[in-house]
Amino acid sequence: MLLKDQVALVTGGSRGIGRGIVQALAKEGAKVAFVYKGSAEAAGKLVEEITQSGGTAQAFQGDVAQPDTATGIVEKVLSDWGRIDILVNNAGIIRDGLFVRMKPEEWDVVVTTNLGGTFRFCRAVVEQMVFRQRSGRIVNVSSVAAQHVNAGQCNYSASKGAVNSFTRALAVEVAGRNVTVNAVAPGFIETDMSEAVRNKAGDLIKKMIPAKRLGKPEDIAATVVFLCSPAASYITGQVITVDGGLSLGAVAV
Amino acid sequence: MTKEEIYAKVAATLVEALNVDDDQVTPTATLQGDLGAESIDFLDVVFRLEREFNIKIPRGELFPESIFQADPDFVKDGKVTARGIAELEAKMPYAELGDFKKSPTIENIGNLFTVELITRYIQSKLA
C-alpha cells in the first residue's frame, strides 16, 4: 500500500471522479475524509463500502462554495485524525450555456465552487502542511476544458484555467516545505457530469479520442494516487492531462 | 525567563525553522543575509515563536511588512524616508536603529533582523 495511514481529504467525494479518488486512496491505505454536497445516500454507501473492506472513511456534508465549509471540515479532520497529508480539490460543477445568455449567477456559482472552493480548502490546510507538518500533497482536479475550450463553457473554462494558474503559483510558495501542488486535467470521463454531453454527442466524442474510449473515474484516481505517492515527490506545479489523447487534437485518418 | 534562556530558545527555534546548523546562529547573524531566510521563512519563524513562547505576534509587529515590501509611503528611491524611520521606531522600539539610520537603504533593512533583535522582541513581549 502506497499511502498507509496517511490522512486524505477529498472534496466532491461521493460521486463521479471524486468517488473514484476516495476509493483509490482508501485502497492504498489512506484514511479518507470526503465532502459531499447533496448525495447523502451515495456518501453513506461509500463510507460503508470502504469500512467493510477494512478501510477508514468519513463523510462530511458541505458546500465548498460557502465561506466556512472548508475551515469547519478541516478543523474536524485535524481533531479526529491529527494531520492532513493529502488534499484533493475535486468538487466542481458546470452551468453550461452560451455566453450571450449567461446569467451572472451562472458565472458566480461556477467560479465560486470550482476556483473559490479550491482556494478555501487550500487556505484551510496550508498552515498545517507548511508550518506544522512540513509535508503535504495537494492535487486540484482541473479539466482539459481549461485549454481546449468548448462553446457554452465560458464560466467552466475560466474557472479551470484559473485553477491551473493557482496550482502553479501556490506550488512555488510551498515547494521549500516539502508540499507539492499539482493538478490533474481529465478529458471526457464517464460520470453524471458528462452525461448530457455524452447523450448528445457520445459517438462523435469517441471518434475524437485517440484511445477510442471515454475515461473512467479510475483513470483519474490512479493519477491522483501517483501524485500523492513517494514516487512523485519531485513533481510540483504541473497540470497532468489524462484524456486518452483527446487534447492532442489529432484528426482520425 | 532570563535573556539567556530566551536567546537559547530563539536560537533553537531558528535552527528548526530555517534548517540551519547550531553554529550558524549567533546574536549578530541576520535572518536574510546570514541564515538565508526567504519571505515564507519569516512567517514560519513567527509561527514557531508563538508556539514556543506561548505568545501572540500580531501581523507586522515583529517584521513590519509595509517597509519590507517597500511601501511607497515609507520608502523612496530605495531609501527608507524619515517617515519610514519614524514608523520603524514606533513599531520596533526594541530595535537599535543607530547604524541603520546612517544608511537607511532598503537592502539594509534585512540587516536589522538579527537573532539578537528577535531575542529583545521576545523579551519585551514577555515583560
Q: What average pLDDT does this structure show over A225-251?
A: 96
Percent of chain A past pLDDT 70, that is, above it, reads 100
- Distance (Å) from the alpha carbon of A173 to chain B's nearest alpha carbon: 7
> Would you call B47 an interface residue with chain A, using a CB distance cutoff of 8 Å?
yes
Taking residues A21-41, what's their average pLDDT?
A: 98
- Of A240, A141, A228, A217, which Cα lies nearest the Cα of A180? A228
**Amino acid letter, A134:** R
Q: Where are the domains of chain A?
A: 7-243
Residues contacting residue A194 through CB under 8 Å, at least 6 positions apart = A188, A214
Average pLDDT over residues A212-229: 97
A234 is catalytic: no
**Cα-based angle A125, A241, A197 (whole degrees, multiple of 5):** 100
Q: Average pLDDT over chain A, rounded to whole?
A: 96
Nearest residue to A85 via CA among A227, A218, A252: A227
Superfamily of structural domain B3-126: ACP-like (1.10.1200.10)
pLDDT of residue B109: 86
The pLDDT profile of chain B, 127 residues, written as one tens digit per residue, is: 999 999 999 999 999 999 999 999 999 999 999 999 998 999 999 999 999 999 999 988 888 877 777 788 888 998 999 998 998 888 888 888 888 999 999 888 888 899 999 999 999 999 8
Interface mutation vs chain A, best among B40, B45, B46, most A CBs within 10 Å: B40
DSSP state string for A104-115? HHHHHHHHIIII
What CATH code would you report for A7-243? 3.40.50.720
pLDDT at A252 over 80: no
pLDDT at A234: 98
Domain borders along chain B are: 3-126
Amino acid letter for position A132: R
Nearest-angstrom CA–CA distance, A141 and A90: 5
Tell me what pLDDT residue B95 has.
Answer: 87
Q: Do residues A176 and B38 make contact, with C-beta atoms less than 8 angstroms apart?
A: yes
C-alpha cell recorded at residue B10? 530563539
Decide if A130 and B40 are in contact by the 8 Å CB cutoff: yes
Evaluate whether ipTM surpasses 0.90. no
Q: How far is A131 from chain B (nearest CA, A)?
A: 6
Q: How many CB atoms lie within 10 A of CB A10?
A: 32
Reply yes or no on whether the pLDDT at A228 is more than 80. Answer: yes
Write down the residue that cell numbers 469500512 correspond to. A51
Q: Which residues of A touch B (CB under 8 A)?
A: 127, 130-131, 173-174, 176-177
* Contacts for A221 with CB less than 8 Å, ≥ 6 apart: A17, A20, A21, A23, A24, A25
The CA angle A199-A203-A208, to the nearest 5 degrees, is: 120
Question: Taking 90 as the threshold, does the pLDDT of residue A69 lie above it?
Answer: yes
Give tens-digit pLDDT for A163-209: 999 999 999 999 999 999 999 999 999 998 888 888 888 888 889 99
